[in-house]
Structure 1
């Protein structure tokens, strides 16, 4: 056996000096982020108490071209040792002792400072109280700079407190503690030093094996590590994209010139109103486009050239897969492609980050957009329309929320092997859209999904997107919803989600105590913020006529607004439970009309509302909600639910609050409960079966609610 390493002791002082000179550096296989300050505090506290804090691993290598220095200062020596494992500990220690700024994960700069109390031996991340207290040294850097002066200044501060007696015992305790802290420079780390003749691929494999034993790295991290070995330029491109997604071109220019005054001016960044990237996220797009893979674990093995049966590495396979990745990444990072794709989001009615419930949906839709544009040659105008429908569908159904890699791989497989024509691409995606959104989905599933108090729910967000598509007004205003949500609009406050049945009225007059009931999204409407302040806590039949009269809107316009905002006819005369049930149905109908307009730009939406006295019969829209079934006794609290999939042994339970408890998590809806059980289904009603005393066999929840509807259970009984 060839021994690739040896053990060597390094003191903290030696480590700091090595980093300071530049002889100890980070290789490009490492991630550039540092621990949160609280974790740095815990590390120093453990060392102060003499606890072991783990080994470090260095690679003895003088190849400075593949390293970056720790800290921002100019280094006086070339690299001699590269950190393979222990980057976070070493960077954190160095920054705290030297008082340096570090890059955070969001690419912001932050100074690490740790406070120290010599009288108690405690360490804290400095708060305003710690900084003002005479008992604390606000930043332990002062101790490592000059322990004598640090002790002198500390005792001087103590004596400035007239209410405190600083006697010889206090002075001695402070001196011992400060000296002990300074002696951390003599604290020894055991360093495993990998020998110089070990090549970069083996070192990268060592790094992956070490970290794969914990939960620190994802498959994306493994691939980024691999790229550092075989395509360093590619990884640098991904990191640059991720960093620049957080800043405007002007900001990037300023940042670059802080470190290199002659850096060229930045003219474009992928900054957008929807998301900021991590390198692994845009890598996911590049892999889907170039390698036709969504599962990053499979992509990692493919890139390594590893035969899945023999586990042997084949360099020729590796080179082929790398070429594919380079092509996919070139497409993904093309500014023209990204700017064109952003128009897809706008066309779909999505305007800013608050409307995005799944960043995976953005990433995978962008990947499919690139495939359609480059592999299938779909004209950009036609592609924008089909991908806008795809994005809307994926968002509202949560297509990429549960098991996203599996679902995306299925989507990629459907396109693989098809004739690479514009018509085939559009046909394939359209068939999936229609399968995911049949008519009964809009009539049953969507109203049920609107039985929630979460304004981040895909169902509510899709409704807001539909209002944008339909060019809807803000309620009782002449402004447009899409203008208020415009990411480029800079206002103190925009539109607010107003309770149509005011909170105080529901609580004080109707006696409702459930926050979930009061804050139902079906009780919200988008109004200008000044209107929300003006509306009192009166019942709707009192405040609404006054608001309508004050606005003096054209009757046709007001009627149209009531249609857009899904207000039932004579809604102010309804009871609260009946109102939210009817409005869920109307919100679903408006959302559907927005989607139809998205499908056909010339479509004229039908926003007509049923008359107040219409007998809906057993319309699918009136199927009972989960809460209806629980409160009516059809699904009593404590009822056990089991999956239809016999392969799953998990069970769930109905709670007294009409939720479903799956493991330690409480879920608002049956769909969320199904996703909590790690399944990807169209409807949770068809996933769970209830064990009831009245039934010989477990009964599907979808069948139970139909029975309840026939029995007249369509709204919850009055409190």
Structure 2
């Protein structure tokens, strides 16, 4: 077999000249962005010291259809060499030596500048401090642009600085250092040149193999490389889509000077090319596993592993169809209405970008292949997205799960009713009745405000058009990507942090910051509430806001506040609120079936909240003198623990070193496994032989 390549030496001067003239070109099988400046510094430093910096690889091919110029400028000559490997090094060298501005990943333009100290031989990325120091050349590009003037300017500046003494030996050393820097033009790279007759797919395969060494390329990278060979316009379209997802049309015109009337910018996510590719493949090839899609696109027979060009052509045509739908303006704009309908308003509410991508793919399939009317499709897909987000459907093994969802649509009669039937069946299977009652409350047992269940709760509040707690503004108006404000609503600790720490003695932040302890309030309220206990601040806030009772009760239902919550033990409060939050989520979900649905958010009476006429609070028993401060309490059934608790003047119970605000909390502090604290404790009164359980004292008439 004849060799497919040869080795040839190229100096930096020849490389830069080739890029400048356009004879060396960059094929679109490469990532488009240069290294960080620090990595460019390391490259120049290694070359200055005479270290090897790796080979370059070119393809001796004069086909200009699949190439673009490094730096994006028009060139004067046809390409004869296309860069296969080493684009980052070559672009960096060219930018430094020629003072070229390059695109950064955020699509800003920047000239790569490196500073050099001739006295020490050090290179650094220039800072304001370095630029002020006379012993540094702030930009080595000045040396390559004009070595004599750069040396003269440097020496003039250095000699004028009283901190430095420049004698003849120093000046000679500086001369040698600057000359050595300028001589980097003669640094020689070994270039592996692939011969012209080598096929494009082989070149792409070489590129993938080279870049797989030490770098974990994804299946999306493989497919994008393949597209660069066989459908470059499609690869470019994906890159433009991903880039434009970061900008408004006006920003694209301003930054890139490209006429643009529409971009896929949205409040939920910015794209990478591989992500919109994932949608195109799901729609066009009906595949979620990109590794399988890669093999199919190459036309490889799964049994013989032989490439079939006819099969490759067929699969490419399917990909083109899928991508045309995935990048269509109207499809994307209509799909965004699905997310808004589902109660999701901002990027912070998206816990899985795969859920966005796969839901979008299913939306396109429903619209194009099953001809579901837009209004009906929006409703079923809103339910699908809501379900997928709160259950984390595409969080674990997302490709496998999506492939299962795609398979369920295979062979189905392509009618709107059948599409809705298939998706509705999966939704019902994912969230049966016991899931709402058992699993969802348990999923809310978390301190992560990014947990799918908690985000689902916020989405449900948006769906239900809920108001901010003790305010008249709507939550969905505050959670608005278009709203410009210094502060909006905040997650307020219903049981304040300092109160939980200093009074209840909690030290576990995960327990303190449970999502069931958060409520959405206006930021000014959060400051006012500070660290007061609920029994102190809540009546004050209710009175100060002067919100009519019907409206306030409705807000308490939206915000899942248990009846009499301010008197509950903290653990009991969390437990009850999780179930009420789950109920709010469920009711929001039900409204996705009917926009006019009236949710049932009625709250059960709290079993831990006593009726004041017959079951007074412990605090009341203390302040009324029934249980004097200083009274000692012991467990009714001590089981040998010998615990002695003491009643304090403010109605708290001191157990060991901890102050407990309720009898239930005091019992738990003494490691009671279950049951009521009123039955757990018994009181010992001074001068009396009688020992009475607190539950008995509570039921006695108060004189």
Compared CA separation, residues 453 and 184, structure 1 to 2 (3 A): farther
1:315 matched to 2:309: yes
Match of 1:45 in 2: 45
Match of 2:364 in 1: 370
Q: Deviations over 1:287-317 (max 9, x none)?
A: 1011011111111111111111111111111
Whole-angstrom CA distance in 1 between matches of 2:430 and 2:418 = 19
> For 2:192, what is the secondary structure of its paired residue?
strand
Match of 1:567 in 2: 561
Alignment of 1:134-533 (within 5 A): 134-168=134-168, 170-257=170-257, 265-533=259-527
Runs of 5+ consecutive residues of structure 1 not aligned to the other structure: 258-262, 616-709
Q: CA deviation at 1:713?
A: 9.6
Whole-angstrom CA distance in 2 between matches of 1:392 and 1:581 = 24
CA contact (8 A) 2:561 2:580 kept: yes
Q: Deviations over 1:656-698 (max 9, x none)?
A: xxxxxxxxxxxxxxxxxxxxxxxxxxxxxxxxxxxxxxxxxxx
Whole-angstrom CA distance in 2 between matches of 1:312 and 1:405 = 26
Q: CA deviation at 1:269?
A: 1.4
Q: CA deviation at 1:172?
A: 4.6
Q: Deviations over 1:52-96 (max 9, x none)?
A: 221110011222222111114332222121101111121122223
Q: Deviations over 1:461-487 (max 9, x none)?
A: 111111100100011111111111122
**Mean alpha-carbon deviation: is it higher for 137-146 or for 522-531?**
137-146
Compared CA separation, residues 37 and 505, structure 1 to 2 (3 A): farther
Compared CA separation, residues 170 and 584, structure 1 to 2 (3 A): farther
Whole-angstrom CA distance in 2 between matches of 1:42 and 1:612 = 67
**Mean alpha-carbon deviation: is it higher for 49-58 or for 360-369?**
49-58
**Mean alpha-carbon deviation: is it higher for 572-581 or for 407-416?**
572-581
Q: CA deviation at 1:193?
A: 0.7
Q: Deviations over 1:437-481 (max 9, x none)?
A: 122222232222222222222121111111100100011111111
Compared CA separation, residues 448 and 136, structure 1 to 2 (3 A): farther
Compared CA separation, residues 589 and 213, structure 1 to 2 (3 A): same
Cα RMSD over matched residues? 2.5
Compared CA separation, residues 558 and 235, structure 1 to 2 (3 A): same
2:600 pairs with one of 602, 606, 623: 606
> For 1:64, what is the secondary structure of its paired residue?
coil
Match of 2:528 in 1: 534
> For 1:599, what is the secondary structure of its paired residue?
coil
CA contact (8 A) 2:568 2:608 kept: no
Whole-angstrom CA distance in 2 between matches of 1:170 and 1:324 = 69
1:35 matched to 2:29: no
Q: CA deviation at 1:554?
A: 1.5
Q: CA deviation at 1:614?
A: 5.6
Q: Deviations over 1:484-508 (max 9, x none)?
A: 1122222222222222222333333
Whole-angstrom CA distance in 2 between matches of 1:127 and 1:216 = 33
Q: CA deviation at 1:138?
A: 3.0
Whole-angstrom CA distance in 2 between matches of 1:98 and 1:509 = 67
Q: CA deviation at 1:384?
A: 0.7
Q: Deviations over 1:233-288 (max 9, x none)?
A: 2222222212221221222233443xxxxx6x422211111111111111111110
Match of 1:689 in 2: none
Larger Rg: 2
CA contact (8 A) 2:108 2:255 kept: no
Whole-angstrom CA distance in 2 between matches of 1:160 and 1:349 = 67
Whole-angstrom CA distance in 2 between matches of 1:389 and 1:371 = 16
Compared CA separation, residues 158 and 357, structure 1 to 2 (3 A): farther
Q: CA deviation at 1:157?
A: 4.2
Matched residues, number: 618
User: TM-score of the superposition, structure 2-length normalised?
Assistant: 0.83
